[in-house]
A and B are shown apart, each in its own frame.
Chain A
C-alpha cells in the first residue's frame, strides 16, 4: 500500500474502535506506520495501547473502523496478517519448562518453516541476541533480559515484516533495557523490520522515529520526538516560591506568561531563552512592597513527559492495578513458590 507521500505503509488504521461492554478502550483512532520505521505508542496504563496491539495482531476483533497490516485487513485476512507479523508480548509467552531450542522449534512448526531454514535462521538469530551458548538450556534458568532477547529472536524466526513490541522492556533494569534497545536498533539497521511498540517510559519513546501520544483511548498527537518537544516551546523553568499564587499572577501581569503548577506544587514556565528570563523573574519578584521569595529555580529542556502533560493536562500516572495486573502479581508469586 502506498500513501500520498510515496511511503509504503506497514500499518494503516482508520477510525478504529473497540468497546468492552460500556467501556470504550479505543475511541476512533487513525494513524499510519511507514515501512521500516520505529513507531511508538506512548501513554499511561489503560490508555488503549495493548488493546490496539491486540487488534492489529488479530487477538481482538475491532468494534468499528478498520485496520490493515502489511496490506491485509485484520478482520478478513487474519491468517495472512498472522504470518507476516511477529509479536513480543508484555507478559512472557515462552514455555519456561522447555529449552530455548524447543521454544524456537515449536514456533518454527507452527509457522511452517522448513527444517533447513529453521536451522540456519535460529543459529543466526541466537547469535544476534548473544544466546548461542544457552540454546539447550531450559528457559527457567534465564534472566529476565535473556528471556526478552529469546522472545525477540523467536519473534523474528519467520521473517515478519512488522514486529509488534508491547512494553518490551517492562520490569527490566535500566542496563538490560539499554541492552535490548541495542538489539532492536541493530535489527532495524540490518533487516529493515518495521517496529510498532507501546511504552510508558519516556526515555524509551525517544528511540522511536515517530510517536503517537495516546490517552483515554484517543490519539492526542503523532509526530517525531523532536517536533513534539518543540510544541512545548523553548525551555522550561521550574520555580519554588514562598507564594505561588501571587507569583503566577505577577508573571502574568509583568511578563505576560502563563505559569502552571506541577505535580509537587512547583511552578513551571515555558519560555524561549530561559537562561535570560530567570534574572528577569527574580527581579520582578523582589520588586514592590510585597516581595516573593524564590526558594529554588531550575532550567531544563522539555522532555516527552512535558509534552505529554501539555497535551493531556496530566502526568503519565501509575494506574490502580486492574484485575489482569492482580493476576500477573499472583502469577509472579506463584512462580516464586513453585521454584
Chain B
C-alpha cells in the first residue's frame, strides 16, 4: 500500500514539478481562452439578444464556459501526452518499474486534473475584471467543480491515448472529439432554445455537465436566481451526478487499457 502511494505521488508530483518549471507555457496557454473571452465577447456581445433580462453581459455569460474550455484542453492534453511519454520519455521507465500500472494511470489522472484546475483558477482570477462577484465559498465550489470536470476529461484522454502508439491520431482527436465537445457544451451560447438535434447532442456531451454547474455557481451573485434557473440545463446535483457517472465510465476502461501488456 505504501508502495502504491509512493508510485502515485511520483507520477503526480512529476506533473506538478514540470508545470511549475514552465512558466512560459502557463502564460501561453492562457492566450487562447483570453482571446475567445475578449474578442468573441466584444464582437458577438452586441449582436446577441439581451441575456437574463438584460442582467447579464455576453462576456459574463461566456466566462464559466471559458473556464471549462481551459480545464478541458489542459486535462486532455496532459493525458494524451502519455503517448509520447511512453515511447520517448520518463513514462517508458515507469512502464518497466515494479509498480502497479493502475496506480500509474490514477496518478496521471490526478496530475492532469490538478494542472487543469490550476489553469482554470488562473482564468477565474479575472472575474472581477468582468464585473462578476465571487465569494470565497463560490471559489471553493468552483474549484471542486473544475477538479471534477478535469478528472472526467483526464480519464477520457487516457482512454483515447491508452492504445495509441503514435501521435498521428492526435489531430483527429482534436477535431472530432475536443472541438465538438467544446462547441456543443453550452460554453459559448445558451442551450435553451437551440434546435432539438443540438440539444440532444449537448445532453450526451460530458462537458455540458461541467459548464452548467460552473455557470450556475459563478453567476450566483451577479444574476437573479429566476434568470439563472431559466438558463440552466439541470440542477447542480444532477450535473455532478452525471459527471461522476461519466468519470467512472471513462476511468474503468482507461485504467484497464493502460494496464494491459502489449
* Contact of A59 with B96 in the complex, beta carbons under 8 Å: yes
* Known contacts A57-B96, A323-B166: A91-B88 contact under CB 8 Å: yes
- B133-174 toward A: CB 8 Å interface, digit per residue (1/0)? 000000000000000000000000000000000110000000
Could you tell me the distance between the alpha carbons of A93 and B89 in the complex, rounded to whole angstroms? 4
Residues of A within 8 A of B97 (CB): 82, 107, 110-111
Residues of A within 8 A of B261 (CB): 58-61, 78
* Known contacts A60-B261, A95-B90: A106-B10 contact under CB 8 Å: yes
Residues of B within 8 A of A323 (CB): 166
Could you tell me the distance between the alpha carbons of A319 and B84 in the complex, rounded to whole angstroms? 23
Could you tell me the distance between the alpha carbons of A330 and B95 in the complex, rounded to whole angstroms? 23
Name the one of B3, B87, B91, B94 contacting A112, with C-beta atoms under 8 angstroms: B3
Binds A, one of B14-22, B34-42, B186-194: B14-22
Q: Find the B residue at minimum CB distance from A94.
A: B90
Could you tell me the distance between the alpha carbons of A83 and B93 in the complex, rounded to whole angstroms? 12
Residues of B within 8 A of A328 (CB): 88
* Contact of B96 with A61 in the complex, beta carbons under 8 Å: no
B91 CB → nearest A CB, Å: 8
* Contact of A59 with B88 in the complex, beta carbons under 8 Å: no
A293 CB → nearest B CB, Å: 54
* Contact of A91 with B96 in the complex, beta carbons under 8 Å: no
B 1-42 contacts with A by CB, 8 A: 3, 6-7, 9-10, 14, 17-18, 21-22
- A312-334 toward B: CB 8 Å interface, digit per residue (1/0)? 00000000000110011011000
* Contact of B21 with A97 in the complex, beta carbons under 8 Å: yes
| Any B CB within 8 A of the CB of A92 | yes
Could you tell me the distance between the alpha carbons of A79 and B3 in the complex, rounded to whole angstroms? 13
* Contact of A59 with B14 in the complex, beta carbons under 8 Å: no
Could you tell me the distance between the alpha carbons of A94 and B261 in the complex, rounded to whole angstroms? 22
| Any B CB within 8 A of the CB of A87 | yes
A 91-107 contacts with B by CB, 8 A: 91-95, 97-98, 102-103, 106-107
* Size bracket, chain A contacts: 35 or more
| Any A CB within 8 A of the CB of B44 | no
Residues of B within 8 A of A57 (CB): 96
B86 CB → nearest A CB, Å: 10
Could you tell me the distance between the alpha carbons of A313 and B167 in the complex, rounded to whole angstroms? 37
Could you tell me the distance between the alpha carbons of A97 and B17 in the complex, rounded to whole angstroms? 8
* Contact of A331 with B84 in the complex, beta carbons under 8 Å: yes
Could you tell me the distance between the alpha carbons of A91 and B3 in the complex, rounded to whole angstroms? 27
* Contact of A93 with B93 in the complex, beta carbons under 8 Å: yes
Residues of A within 8 A of B54 (CB): none
Please report B residues at the A interface, Cβ cutoff 8 Å: 3, 6-7, 9-10, 14, 17-18, 21-22, 84, 87-99, 166-167, 261-262
Instruction: Enumerate the 9 nearest inter-chain pairs by beta-carbon distance, A residue then B residue, closest first.
Output: A95-B90, A82-B98, A110-B97, A93-B92, A93-B93, A109-B6, A83-B98, A97-B18, A109-B10
Q: 15 more A-B contacts (CB under 8 A) besides A85-B96, A93-B92, A110-B98?
A: A57-B96, A60-B262, A83-B98, A87-B96, A91-B88, A93-B88, A103-B90, A106-B90, A110-B7, A112-B3, A112-B6, A138-B21, A154-B93, A327-B87, A330-B167
Q: Could you write out 10 A-B pairs with CB less than 8 Å apart? A: A58-B96, A58-B261, A59-B261, A61-B262, A91-B88, A95-B90, A97-B18, A109-B7, A110-B7, A324-B87
